[in-house]
Structure 1
Amino acid sequence: MERKKQLLREAVDRRKENRRLRKRNRQWRWFSRLFLAVLLVSVVLPCFFFLRVAPMHPEMWSDQVEKKVVVPEVEYDVFQRRYNESVENGFCLFGDVDEDIVLVREVEWVEDPEIQRKGRIRFDCIKAMKKNWRRLLFSSDFNFLGTVHTHPSGAYLSRADARNLGSSWWHKSVKGVFDGRELNFFSYGEPGEALEMSVISFGGWYRA
């Protein structure tokens, strides 16, 4: 009789232990799925987004490579229309980097910069990226290229501009400055030397 009671207790204990192990396994599976979901959202998707939206172009960092920046006349007009000597203005550039050229397909004026006054501007292109997210993700020749901002005089990078370009090399191919008369572009490889640039007039095929 005592033997049967002991066997029964052991069977009950094993059943409890099995339940506890199954519960722990369910918790670990749930935790693993949660961890993978967080990893996907926080690491994988942002990496995919930036590689797709603003792909890096290491050839732009080399001072031995000479690329030409091509800006359609209709997009160049955006800089001229928004130029103001009283305050600096910012613009976001979208287009494509080819073997020989950087083709600016679209220029987006930044309406609400974080800081905007004569001699200084601070802005980002998050709103412009959100506006164009479908084209950025699904069009092979429509990427984020970089930014342009205006100067009251002198289409060159200030020291602060050069530092900013140096810290944003991983997502900006070019950085431009427009002074109302001249538009110059610079790259991470040679921030002190302007890239060759041309304004051209042609049809609407350049838009993605």
Structure 2
Amino acid sequence: MEKAPYIKQCREGDSEMIKCFIGAIHHLRPYLAQGIPEIELPSVEPFKMEELTLSLTTGPNGYRVSLKDIDVFGASNFTVRKMRLSDENRPFESVINIPVLRINSRYESSGVLIILPASGNGTFNGQLEGVEATVRGRTSIKEKESLKYLHVDALHVDLVVRNIRLLVKNVYKNNAILTQAINLFLRENGMEVFKVMLPQLRKKLAVLFMSIANSLLSHVPLEAFYLPKGQ
């Protein structure tokens, strides 16, 4: 079977199989950045999310924000720091570091912020620095036309960030006072905003990562990932 250029093979029985698997995943990075048309895998630069809805203050006039048409840049610049393969009792686990994720989106807001009516819309930009993602999941093997394929059945993502910067621009009617108030709030409460965002972000990233993995795995049989012993 001819090996696809985005596949880096590992030798069966290799005493450093984990190290080889990590190298094979790192080999994928430029292909993920460019996309792989032959398996209908689009570029992850940016990867796109439809919407995140955030309630940032409480009360009947609480400040609420919807982020829409979200583009996230930087996901292909990852490093797998640790990996544990699954067995019968435990899921697989990987710890992945990403230096910076940049978020660009539209936003719509409603409610009151720092005594100001804050309903409006504009552009939202975020920068997540020092991102660490812990990815856990379970896999199964599917058979198709006498070949075996790995399939990711479930995925869970935890995220930790070292620093976060959030900013709005192009606020409705170029309201300078509202722009300053929102950016002051975001600057002083960036980590709290991230915590509100996190449950939705984890779910959306898990769906996205699982889709990427299965797009690749459904096109490449298990035997294509391995070199037989002695070769």
Same fold (TM over 0.5): no
Q: Which has the higher helix share?
A: 1
Q: Which has more strand, going by share of residues? A: 2
Which structure has more relative contact order (CA 8 Å, sep 6+)? It is 1
Greater Rg, structure 1 or structure 2?
1
TM-score of the aligned structures, taking structure 2 as reference length: 0.23
TM-score with structure 1 setting the length: 0.25
